[in-house]
Amino acid sequence: MSDLIERFDWSVGPLGSPSTWPQSLRTVVDVMLHAGNAMCLLWGPERIFLYNDRYAAILGTQHPYVLGMPIQKVWSDVWVDIEPLVARTFAGETLTFRDTPLLMTRNGHAEDTWWTFAYSPVRDETGAVAGLLNIANETTAQIAAQDGRDEAVARLGESKEFLRSVLASSNDCIKVLDLDANLVFMSEGGQKVMEVSDFNDIDGCPWPDFWQGEGNAAAKAAVASARSGVPASFLGYANTMKGNRRYWDVQVSPIFGADGKPERILSVSRDVSALKESEEARAVLNQELSHRMKNLLAMVQAITAQTLRQATDMEEAREAVFTRISALARAQDLLVRSSFEEADIGEVVEASIAPHQAGDRRIDASGPPLGLNAQQALGLSLAIHELATNAAKYGALSNDTGRVAVCWDIVDGVFAFHWIETGGPSVVMPGRRGFGSRLIERIVAGYFQGEGRIHFDHQGIRFILTGVSQRA
């Protein structure tokens, strides 16, 4: 889906070219494409539809034709059901639904389906809800199995063999307990999901002992409720017999005898670990989006404040703020492609000098592959922007003969970066040092835990940055 989204002509639709997308949209699309769960995203007033590879399997024959369409056209047959939910999410609510029935047409014919899904609002740079992220899990197969199980239980007295075959086909762990909560039966499917090699090893064991901590207390409470004739349910963690941790949705019900009193207890445990992971992934995603946006906005705020403080008029301030934030955006694009983990210094340099690189390529860049963390990548990008802008106005790039050499390396374990100008006008020490100089020498150097120094040599500006590359 990454390639499909990259090749798609977004410029003719409401979202426009990806180069104009807000950072919030770029970030959530990048996280969605790299997620292990089925996810789709609705963005903007038109509710434009994007999705990842796992969600493509849900679409059936509609994939890939529905990419970029409004959601009401994608799922027109169920729009009347989901429109109120979409509206509530865009109003700021987070909604979670389990085993929700929907009549859908996705493979050329109508079919009954069931879904567990979570709708989360996605906020843009202003804090307004601009999108909806849906983490979806189709539970049609589980519901079908549950229906079969319910039918089998109802006919227990008629056909034990039929019950055995149905229970064997279910992936739920179906157990029968005596009134003391000891195991007396476990379905074949249950033995598989619980990784039981021989039921005789656990026959007669107290079922609550399979649960620890809060789960043990919940299991005992559920048994007590069923013993009194009232069904109960709970969610919790328990290990399989091989020690693998699973998250279970447990239903505990009484089995009544001929006298109308409970004589056995039915316990049905469904492995919902995938749903639990999806919910946790959604929570982590929301926290990560909030963290990234706060960091980015803090940097933009600092750049804007310092620029306005140093500018002599509003036109100068407008131009300086615009170009500096543009440089920041180019570096941000590199980080989005690498999932905000790191960026190669070569790519950072090339992206930063590109606006100033003419056909004669008077800026030479060289150095070994080297990874920078997110803060270093953004800082170095801003530093190069300031140096290149100054070179174009007053330095080596302001005439037809000047050149700039950019190089970097690791020398004796120390990161070293050089910007060297030659062939330009004679350099004169400036009478006033502005925000750009402080940004280069102090702020950016701090990101590398080192030192930055601008040398105003007669033959051309030199900038030397030394420090620590955290991703070397």
Domain for residue 227, yes or no? yes
* Chain mean position to CA 219: 34
Domain for residue 303, yes or no? no
Domain for residue 325, yes or no? yes
- The angle formed by the CA atoms of residues 285, 288 and 292, to the nearest 5 degrees, is 140
End-of-domain residue from the set 87, 104, 137: 137
Structure tokens that stand for 157 in this block = 């007295």
Q: Are residues 147 and 119 in the same domain?
A: no
Would you say how long the chain is, in residues? 472
Domain for residue 285, yes or no? no
Q: Are residues 437 and 382 in the same domain?
A: yes
Q: Is the Cα torsion angle 66, 69, 70, 76 positive or negative in sign?
A: negative
Q: Are residues 329 and 461 in the same domain?
A: yes
d(CA 78, CA 99) in angstroms, rounded, equals 15
Residue numbers of the domain that contains 247: 142-271
Domain for residue 53, yes or no? yes
Q: Are residues 316 and 442 in the same domain?
A: yes
End-of-domain residue from the set 102, 119, 137: 137
Neighbours of 63 (CB within 10 A): 17
Distances from the Cα of 162 to the Cα of 142, 154, 214, angstroms: 19, 11, 36
Write out the chain's pLDDT in tens, 472 residues. 899 999 999 999 999 999 999 999 999 999 999 888 889 999 999 999 999 998 998 888 889 999 999 999 998 888 998 899 999 999 999 998 888 887 777 677 778 888 888 999 999 999 999 999 998 888 888 888 877 777 766 665 555 666 667 666 778 888 999 999 999 998 888 888 899 989 898 999 999 999 888 889 999 999 999 999 999 999 989 999 999 989 999 999 999 998 989 999 999 999 988 888 878 767 765 665 555 565 455 556 655 665 566 567 778 777 766 766 665 566 566 555 544 457 788 988 888 877 677 667 888 999 999 988 877 887 888 788 788 878 888 889 888 889 999 999 998 889 999 999 999 999 888 877 665 677 677 777 888 888 989 999 999 999 999 988 654 4
End-of-domain residue from the set 90, 113, 137: 137
Domain for residue 391, yes or no? yes
Is residue 365 a contact partner of residue 356, using CB atoms and an 8 Å limit? no
Q: Are residues 68 and 170 in the same domain?
A: no
Q: Are residues 106 and 239 in the same domain?
A: no
d(CA 329, CA 296) in angstroms, rounded, equals 10
Q: Are residues 197 and 171 in the same domain?
A: yes
Which amino acid is located at 456 in the chain? F
CATH code for position 321 = 3.30.565.10
Q: Is the Cα torsion angle 195, 201, 202, 203 positive or negative in sign?
A: positive
Q: Are residues 463 and 322 in the same domain?
A: yes
Domain for residue 280, yes or no? no
pTM, entire model? 0.40
Which amino acid is located at 348 in the chain? V
- The angle formed by the CA atoms of residues 216, 217 and 223, to the nearest 5 degrees, is 90
Count of structural domains within the chain: 3
